[in-house]
Amino acid sequence: MPKIVKSFFPLNGVRNYEGVSKPLLAVQVTELVDGFFIGCTINHCVADGTSFWHFFNCWSEIARNGDSDLIVNKPPVLDRWFPEFVASPIHVPLSKEHVHDEFDLPLLEERVFHFSKENIAQLKAKANSEYGNDQKICISSLQAVLAHLWQSVIRCRCGTNADEKFSFKLLIGARPRLQPHLPEGYFGNAVHFVNVTTTAREMLEHDSGWAALQMNKVVSTQTHEEVMNFYQSWVKNPKIVKKSEVVANSLIASSSPHFDVYGNDFGWGRPVAVRSGAGNKHDGKMTIFCGAEQGSIDIEACLTPETLHAMGQDTKFMGAVSKIEIV
């Protein structure tokens, strides 16, 4: 993808906390010779990925149909929700020491690894045959793919200490976990991170199915009670997470293959591709989208050039990758 595409995103690279003075939503439409590029930036404190894509698809529905009364098939639920023990508003500290982040990024590049429906099914079947079925656990397709990716990153990173701890940070959606459930169309931010932690030695002594099992175990702990405990703990000590505090020896997954990123049509036809901008990028950021082909997954990996080059030569990893796109 040409580097000029990065300029098609509004407020490119603005951090979430800058929503104090910057717009909470910015949109930039760039007309190309043969199409249009719609770039969006939204403050994550306001909306998570579920809410963003709900908004985006509703907007495209209105634009396509030219509805003067702004009627959409699935309107957002705008009612605010807070746990009973929370007295709102919550006062978050915004002094310089809380938000200033001294963090120098290394040289980074991006690749999109495309996993076909068939290859995903093979990874999932292999992981479950090794570690899932015997323990009455069903490893998901996404867990199998992310574990396969994680293992390759550890194999390919230079200077990895075998006993060094590595973590994979996964976003957990609270809507279906809370009791009663939040509506699917709830507009807001209802996600939080969990850590799956292991050592390089453990990762490389096992198949990727073992890593997928570790992910499955952590995700399965996220019950209503655990989510409420997380909220209660955060309210007692609210803080803005700094990038420098979370990126060391970590991969961080964002977005989801369940988001309907190809379902929108502004009247110009369906999208031909979906990519993320430069905001919140760092060594280890993995942005996940469904692929253009049904059942496929695209993972936009942001890593050092050395790691990405080594992954391209990693035959075990590349055996499940259908194609690579340089971003």
Residues with a catalytic annotation lie at 44, 265
Helix (H) or strand (E) holding 316: helix 315-318
Quick check: 51 and 76 in contact, CB under 8 A?
yes
Q: How many CA atoms lie within 13 A of 313 on its CB side?
A: 9
What burial class does residue 12 get, using C-beta atoms within 10 Å of its C-beta: 0-12 exposed, 13-18 middle, 19+ buried?
Answer: middle
Amino acid at 179: Q
Contacts of 18 (CB under 8 A, 6+ apart): none
User: Whose CA is closest to 272, among 4, 42, 32, 28?
Assistant: 32
Task: Give the per-residue SS3 of 188-251.
Answer: CCCEEEEEEEEEHHHHHHCCHHHHHHHHHHHHHCCCHHHHHHHHHHHHHCCCCCCHHHHCCCEE
Is there a contact between 302 and 243 (Cβ–Cβ < 8 Å)? Answer: no
The closest of 296, 206, 311, 292 to 251, measured between CA atoms, is 311
Q: How far apart are the first and last CA of the chain?
A: 5
Q: How far is CA 9 from CA 25, 30, 178, 276, 277, in A?
A: 12, 9, 34, 9, 6
In angstroms, the CA 2 to CA 190 distance is 34
Residue indicated by tokens 């076909």? 116
Pair of tokens at residue 80: 């605010």
Token pair belonging to 200: 């390089």
Q: How far apart are CA 268 and CA 199, in angstroms?
A: 48
